[in-house]
Amino acid sequence: MSEILLLFLGGVAAGALGGFLGIGGGILVMPVLRFFVGLSPAHAAGTCIVAVFFTTLGGSYRHYKLGNVDLRPLIPVMISGALATTVFSFVFLYLSTRERWLDMGIGLVFALISTRMIAEGISGLIKRHENHKGKNKINGTLTQKTAIGSLAGVLPGLLGIGTGVILVPAFIYLLSAPVKVAMASSLTCFSINALISSGFKYWQGFTDLNVALPICLGALLGANLGAMLNKRVSSNALKIIFGLVFSYVSLKFVLLFIEVKI
């Protein structure tokens, strides 16, 4: 009973953070599955992506109702992302036999983005400047969007984690979208990636539904709360939070890889 409660509360926290920052919430779900539940890296990835789908579903729906999402400009990102997720879901089968590299891969992905997000957030607070160049739209060419979607689709298929680490900064820095619109759009695009990856991971036998169910229920609740909080908090503060969270999780997974290797 205590483990079910822990999973449910972890889902609530992951959903809230996911809806708040425009990510899937896997940055909280994955550590819970690996460090508290004790799932193997492959089964943690397979179970995490199922739970994360419910975070993206709840969060993107709430953001859509708040007017932060315009679906039409996102279609190229969704289609290219779906194709990439499908391809790399098959590559995951190979990586699942080398599980410690899953931990290292997750740690590196989190590390690559955290430093820049923190720096940008601090810089924005000092300058007290908000990026409004894109109004409430996702700009950019078809080529840019296809490339972003293709790159973002790798992570859910290959590592079972979210695409927020790619989509959010790509929408902000390459497509000149406001931070909150970028986060809302990231959730919407990732919901497609997560659905496809979840189906493949379940079919491949890497999903523990008994563990995933309470997390999913909590994530649905938390995602709606996080999306509502997003509307009331400074964009620059969100950047700093985003970066700090990924820095912490990155360190945890890299240390785990080192310990296993030794």
Give the 3-state DSSP-derived string for 239-255, with helices as H, strands as E and coil as C: HHHHHHHHHHHHHHHHH
Residue 262, pLDDT score: 44
- Of the pLDDT bands very low, low, confident and very high (cuts 50, 70, 90), residue 7 is confident
- Domain extent for 215: 2-261
Q: Each residue of 168-199: pLDDT tens digit?
A: 888 888 888 887 788 888 888 988 999 999 99
Residue 22's nearest CA partner among 140, 133, 159, 182 is: 182
Q: What is the mean pLDDT of the chain?
A: 80
Of 207 and 97, which is predicted with more confidence? Answer: 207
Q: Are 206 and 95 in contact (CB under 8 A)?
A: no
Look at the chain and report how many structural domains it folds into. Answer: 1
